[in-house]
Chain A
């Protein structure tokens, strides 16, 4: 078709740019089994590492006898803390300003902790050798309850004994890590004292785990000739890993190449640094051969970063009419044996201070106490921005609890307390500036879509039938209006290990009008290669299909802080648009030269620059690209490429309204989701199909968390849920249908107005499911019950309410 005959709309459609439900380019290889994951990497002479792990949650390591293991043919080495100590690598820094044992240094602090690293010619020999390492332990008292830990004489972290200052201020007890306070304590307590109504409740968000399908692993390859270390691994932040490896190993950063190949899901689990990464590097340096380490499922569940485990004591104050006047929260945060929480440095409890949620709450106070226990370290943002799911769950439960206290409809209570559209940008009492929002519009749309009044009538009828003995099933309507805070973040207040949390994109246009773009982020299933090409396509008028996207290789990609906390689109997506705009600016000059007019006399038109007032005189981006490489243009360098490092001026604040309708069998505790409606406002929508996919995935993880998924410990600190038999990972069988919907409130400060969406469904989903359970029992007197709502805990609610006769 002749290009000139196409309408602008047709030309725009051909680009498959922003707004297009473009199919995922990644899926061609994934659906054919042609992905390239860490465990697919095979290098000549590669050795395999495997861990000896502690069976005890708290014990002194009396001795490690390697002899029998070393005697097994094919075993190359057995590393212990003693071997790493001369290199200073037996401990490593955590992202939270603490330090963590790489291999047990005298004691172990959680079950599954790494004690020795066996290196062998293949993984089978390594597994056999692990059995042959004899470790003598002396058991110590175990602390699994953070409240007990703060009272106990038992010192978990002997290495910190006497240190009254931690990375985040004073430590109040030898098992205390930090206190973090936000807001105005005195003013909030004054509001609580004078309020018409105060609802108080402990909201526990249990410990769970991101459980990506691909477990963590790495392949380290030290080339002793060039002195260059190549490290492949499951890294959500490859550049940060390179810097960390350089800092802790002493290797020059230019001699380290970190590659994140295809990653089979991260969800926060692959942000931090693990002992396996360090040990594979050390083993490769020691042996001069590549060393692979890949953990199994049980190791992943029991020893890599967990999520949540927040005990949130809340008080919410309101007038008789339901206008909220104040919010108070004290959180006891169980961080496990080491503080390896993955948060920006200045935020030891992440962005928990988003806990005023979607509501205009004038006065608020939040304090968080971090505590050491005999559990695995972590505290990562499992498919959410830093501690945002905890915050959203807290406020969405407190709203429900307040509604009960006020005897009000919870939908109406939310409506009268929402921040109004004309209040944005909105300064929250706990220190954030919400960029944009229109909560009332979204809420009304959601309630109308599900016929909220009709649902309440159904529920009322069900209650009558239940009381009349005609049914044993209750109906719960779970409401949530959440506000996320994502896109960390402004370098002025967000850094990780001192690295500012900007991100980057470099775009090179090839002479024939195709392009390659490289970013500082790394996709783990988000579809960056699809969506970021769409941003470029819309910005510079080249088809998305002609744009290759690369991430994850620190030798080629520009420096960036990686992918987690829904930051890729808000930060790297912005960098992508800005880099593209630099290219377009140069293209404008080239076009003007070619068209023999002044720069200001051409204007952008979808995929070309045309002379103002003479649209038939134009140069397409393809033509401009070729000219950039074959014409000597006065005053312009040849070539057409640009790089942008984007430091966002603010976070973005996606929001949404989720409604879950659930049937609950009071006799068995079984539940069934009858309907789930998810309205998301993530600002400008880049690819609606990918947004739907993100929502489906995120709500499914939320379902898992709310309805059964947990990392549970017994009193001895044994992990009770260390396999997928007991750790709930939903399959298609358990996953309900979801109805997705949207409103669009662009971010005013983001170049394309996008806010990020991948984590909203987890943030909104968890309270929606949990509130549905609570709502079903509300007419019978339930106020608060802790997740996960598995069969027996639901049964326990019914039993406690006298429903079993």
Chain B
């Protein structure tokens, strides 16, 4: 459980970090909280010559609450998501979901940017961001661009982010009053990835539904969302069950996961509806 040797970089701004990525190409990886990357390095399943630590980059920090939009710096920790009063008021779903991630010690260090950028289907934030229809801002050698969370995930650990790009900020439209939100997650124990998790927003004639760890990417379903917007809970669940593709692992076989997925989704819907205006 000792990683292979690597060069450690600690740039002070985004431009320098991109410069290091450009210089070393495939050999370099950025590291945020490190909770996904470091275990892989210790197992020697991930080996890279250059590790670019983003901790010292001030531009990547901070939570901004605007009247219509919330912006999260990529290096905002899960702990900050939980303890930021303005964020909890604007998007209560963020806090509810962040509290379900790992344990307090992990959340002090784990970041929202790392969680969404790594492309691990087990992470909670990607599905949540798809539910919230968030936008990810990327910076690279050719400048900045935005990618919708719903377009970001291609396969497990494969995303729309280019190797030399860094995910810098996340923008989320504030759902507005009248929209009920809920996050339901079943896990085996504290610190575990979801057996199944559901993020739901519903209200004002709209709905958005996404699920976590039930395919090699998070699953947001337009069909399920539309069904729910129209008040058709069974149709929503049915559409979502068609969309997910869970695989068997230590948490259980496919049949079980599909069943739990439907239970989590129904519970999230019930709770979100009860919170809707």
Contacts and interface: CB of A to CB of B under 8 A. Distances in A.
A798 to B, nearest CB: 10
A297 interface: yes
A731 interface: yes
A799 B195 CA distance: 17
Contacts of A708: 188-189
A668 B260 contact: yes
A124 B5 CA distance: 9
B259 A791 contact: no
Contacts of B44: 131
B2 A123 contact: yes
Interface SS of chain A: loop
B260 A795 contact: yes
A297 B190 contact: no
Nearest to A126: B2
Interface in A687-743: 708, 712, 720-721, 725-726, 728, 730-731, 733-734
A296 B3 CA distance: 13
A40 B103 CA distance: 28
A799 B258 CA distance: 13
Nearest to A796: B256
Contacts of A795: 252, 256, 259-260
A791 B188 contact: yes
A670 interface: yes
Interface size class of A (residues with CB under 8 A): 20 to 34
Contacts, number: 64
A128 B5 contact: yes
A670 B263 CA distance: 12
Interface string B182-193: 000010111111
A731 to B, nearest CB: 5
Contacts of A297: 1
B1 A298 contact: yes
A792 B260 CA distance: 9
Given A726-B250, A792-B251, A731 B190 contact: yes
B2 A127 contact: yes
Nearest to A297: B1
Contacts of A599: none
A667 B266 CA distance: 12
B176 interface: no
Interface in A785-803: 790-792, 795-796, 799
A731 B189 contact: yes
Given A667-B259, A668-B186, A804-B259, A791 B1 contact: no
B250 A721 contact: yes
B253 interface: yes
Nearest to A727: B250
Nearest to B255: A799
Contacts of B5: 124, 128
Interface string B180-206: 000000101111110100000000000
Given A124-B2, A791-B251, A668 B263 contact: yes
Of listed B190, B251, B256, residue having the most chain A CB within 10 A: B256
Contacts of B4: 128, 131
Nearest to A732: B190
A792 B263 contact: no
Contact of B190 (A128, A296, A720, A733): A733
Interface string A116-153: 00000001100110010000000000000000000000
Nearest to A128: B4
Interface string A284-323: 0000000000001110000000000000000000000000
A728 B188 contact: yes
Given A128-B4, A131-B4, A731-B103, A791 B186 contact: yes
Contact of B189 (A124, A298, A667, A730): A730
Nearest to B42: A296
Interface string B112-150: 000000000000000000000000000000000000000
A792 B189 contact: no
A804 B2 CA distance: 46
A712 B44 CA distance: 23
B33 to A, nearest CB: 17
A141 B54 CA distance: 48
A127 B1 CA distance: 8
B252 A712 contact: no
A795 B195 CA distance: 13
A294 to B, nearest CB: 11
Contacts of B192: 725
Nearest to B251: A792
20 contacts: A123-B2, A131-B44, A667-B263, A668-B186, A669-B256, A708-B188, A708-B189, A728-B188, A728-B189, A730-B189, A731-B191, A733-B190, A791-B188, A791-B195, A791-B260, A792-B253, A792-B256, A799-B256, A799-B259, A804-B259
Interface of B: 1-2, 4-5, 44, 103, 186, 188-193, 195, 250-253, 255-256, 259-260, 263
Given A733-B190, A796-B256, A799-B255, 6 more contacts: A128-B4, A667-B260, A720-B250, A728-B189, A791-B186, A792-B253
Top 10 A-B pairs ranked by shortest CB distance? A792-B252, A127-B2, A733-B190, A296-B1, A792-B256, A667-B263, A726-B250, A795-B256, A731-B190, A668-B260
